[in-house]
Structure 1
Amino acid sequence: MDASILIVGDHEFLASLSALTPDLAAFTLEVAPNPHEATPLIQAQQPDLLIIQATQPGSLDLCQRVKTQSHLAWIYCVVVDDRQPPAPNELGDRPQDDAHLETSALMMGADAYVDLWRAELQNKSSEKSDQSLIGAHVQAGLRRVQNHRELIRTNDILSAIALSDPLTELNNRRAFEWELPRQIHNARLRGMPISLLMLDVDFFKSINDTYGHLVGDRALQLIASRLRHNLRFYDTPFRYGGEEFVIILSDTGNQEAEAIANRICRLISDQPFVIDDSLDLNITISAGTASLVVQDDARGISLLRRADQNLLRAKALGRNRVVGGQESDAPGESGLGNPDPSPAHES
């Protein structure tokens, strides 16, 4: 397994550990001489496994600090008791000390406790070096870390699925409702503008009624692709629902948002969409923009409402156009053409 191990201990401890567990060399190893110097390494590199010399001052505190931080708690901690074996006349006291130290280590968050002296005795009595007790704990720890990684990867995939629109491969409405408050917070924190652009495909119902829903679905896919490849890298498009899309325009004021909306409208209308070898569709969109103001709520509900109202105005004014501006201002309007007549109740 490709894994990283941080050993926290002095030179003698490292030498004893290397002699007992030569297969440690197969992993990416880092060494810190004490818990104080180990702390920044753990934060920066987040090793898969810690092997900590128990007699180092602060060793158990280090283990506890790791386990109480959610972004580090998955790291597997092995505490190694490196005290010298007791003299023959002291053998009766050592087991009690062992039990106390092991209990303390486990209570402070250690995943495993190993007595180096007993590990040495076991290693000498074993005919196979791969039966090292410390090596077995390392393998057990790395298996647990691997399981954790796979679980995180699976959760990430499931989260991505939950936030993605399967048809267009854009982020979906749930993702938008999570992302908009975050971007509003960041914009206010930095004192930067932010705008919304809402788009609606004109007369989309006619496409479904005339050519069928499969053609309608393909049209949405092509529209989403054209949007995705013609936005700035920091603008975020979402499929809001049906034939509606919404785009978060970061660091963008109202006039610039209207300019972007007009460019996108022309981008959609100027070039037909090739559905298949026998069908090209001329498609237009209507758009409404709105920019964040001081009175807007943190979730962006009022901002979204203004963009939606401007979109409705664009559709009422004949479609294939952009309406922008704030509710308190006279909205800007720009027509981009005369769309083919269709029933007024269609989108």
Structure 2
Amino acid sequence: MSARILVVDDVPANVKLLEARLSAEYFDVLTASNGAEALQICQRAECDIILLDVMMPDMDGFEVCRRLKSNPATHFIPVVMVTALDSPSDRVRGLEAGADDFLTKPVSDVVLIARVRSLTRLKMMTDELRMRALTSIEIGVQAPERNAVADSGRGGRILLVDDRPSSYERLGPMLATEHSVDVETNPAEAVFNAADGNYDLVIVSLDLNDFDGLRLCSQLRSLERTRHVPILAIAEAENNSRLLRGLEIGVNDYLLRPVDKNELLARARTQIRKRRYTDHLRDNVQNSIEMAITDALTGLHNRRYMETHLATLADQAASRGKPLALMMLDIDYFKSINDNYGHDAGDDVLREFAMRVRKSIRGIDLACRYGGEEFVIVMPETDLHVAGMVAERLRRSVANEPFAVHKGEKRIEVTVSIGISTLEQKGEPIADVMKRADNALYRAKNEGRNRAVAIAPVHQPSSFLPQAAGRGR
């Protein structure tokens, strides 16, 4: 697992020692002798993880970390403080400055490498999400970095898995000063509760009675609904090997007993902030996908999505020997709506029209805004007769109920013309089906509008669906 590690220390011997340890594990190592140099390297996005000394001249490690974590461009870089300071207050100060971990010198090679590998895995996952989310920024979705910098990490939902009363009766109230806490004393139920509870953090005691805490952590990582929930493990000091194993299977952080309240709260805040940030990134990715394939005004799929998936739907229909119906719809005299009532009213009509389309079709049908006031509906496993019935139902739902515009101040009559065709010959180009539906729509317009016309494939007779009573438009 290759990653670029920045070692920041003003003592050359310390730098050389860490550089040798990390290089032996095939990490790329960069070095800096002071905080200002480290900030410049990070600003240029040249490192993946920072190993940061605390006691440095001019700018100590706490200040360097605060600056990194307060900058939206660098706050996501994991920082591990490596220092001779070993009191709980020092650890809390480092964590509150934004550090992801606080290791006390002399650091065991095994502990150091395990922590770096764990953070590297998490950083790579975050980087992938950030790269995917870049397009969402370009199309107007707000980047989550500034919210992440301002997030206090408080107010989270925590599941504490611990079956020893002497432990959870002490830890629960500690956490409850900043978070909502549920205590699960039955480890066998913990995975199910974690999956159903939408938690921001799961804290697992590795010293459970008659249950392997590491197996519970592994189960949480294997389930889709809990895969991304941070896990904070708590163990006795002599369980060092189990903690290292926990980091390998996906534990995000750990604490040794006796637990210091301030350190517990600081580590919980750190993990909750990370969870919220990555959730925002995933939401941005999902939003960018939806925006790329969805028409913003109507909420229907857009033309790009339809053109991408239409051939696939046609191939599926042909391979299964099932028919496929396609409807083209055009709102009659839409330009006059815009001219007489304004474009806001036109938008109201388009939104309401899309709503009525959704109510008239099935979940498996594909409804798209083709452009302007034109729409396309693709109906798998539907022949010409059934498609005609659906089209007539939709036509009536439009014509029989006036459309509210201008926030309900006015109601105007609207009608729609519909052209229908089907794919019923294996191997027929879907473009031919589209062309027939377009021709049918043209004929519906010429015949007086407010009607549906179906044109069958060449081997079947065309059909004209009856116009409902009322004025054609």
Note the residue ranges of structure 2 that are not aligned, 5 or more in a row. 1-153
AA matched with 1:288:
G
Among 112, 124, 137, the alignment partner of 2:253 is: 112
Deviation track 1:177-222 (CA, whole Å, cap 9, x = no partner) reads 577689889999x9998743221345767x59xx769957854641
Contact 2:323 2:382 in 1 (8 A): yes
Among 420, 430, 442, the alignment partner of 1:289 is: 420
In the superposition, the TM-score normalised over structure 1's length comes to: 0.66
Among 433, 456, 460, the alignment partner of 1:329 is: 460
2:369 is paired with a residue whose SS is strand
Contact 1:290 1:307 in 2 (8 A): yes
Counterpart CA distance in 1 for 2:467 and 2:327 is 17
AA matched with 2:206:
A
Counterpart CA distance in 2 for 1:255 and 1:217 is 37
Deviation track 1:264-317 (CA, whole Å, cap 9, x = no partner) reads 3455567887988xx9988654322345759479xxx73x75254133134146
TM-superposed deviation, 1:2 = 5.0
1:110 is paired with a residue whose SS is coil
Counterpart CA distance in 2 for 1:82 and 1:226 is 64
Counterpart CA distance in 1 for 2:355 and 2:324 is 19
AA matched with 2:419:
G
Deviation track 1:71-118 (CA, whole Å, cap 9, x = no partner) reads 4332010111136xxxxxxxxxx5xx62x333222112110011113x
1:296/1:288 Cα in 2 relative to 1: closer, same or farther (>3 Å)? farther
1:6 is paired with a residue whose SS is strand
Counterpart CA distance in 2 for 1:15 and 1:184 is 64
Counterpart CA distance in 2 for 1:62 and 1:110 is 11
Contact 1:4 1:49 in 2 (8 A): yes
Contact 1:311 1:322 in 2 (8 A): no
2:440 is paired with a residue whose SS is helix
Contact 1:215 1:275 in 2 (8 A): no
Counterpart CA distance in 2 for 1:133 and 1:76 is 17
Specify the alignment match of 1:53 in structure 2. 205
Counterpart CA distance in 2 for 1:169 and 1:109 is 39
Specify the alignment match of 1:229 in structure 2. 356
TM-superposed deviation, 1:239 = 0.8
Is 1:41 the equivalent of 2:193? yes
Specify the alignment match of 1:312 in structure 2. 439
Pairwise CA RMSD: 4.5
1:229 is paired with a residue whose SS is helix
Counterpart CA distance in 2 for 1:81 and 1:49 is 17
In the superposition, the TM-score normalised over structure 2's length comes to: 0.51
1:329/1:237 Cα in 2 relative to 1: closer, same or farther (>3 Å)? same
Q: After TM superposition, list the pairs within 5 Å mapping 1:61-76 onto structure 2.
A: 61-69=215-223, 71-76=225-230
Among 312, 327, 335, the alignment partner of 1:197 is: 327
Contact 1:21 1:134 in 2 (8 A): no
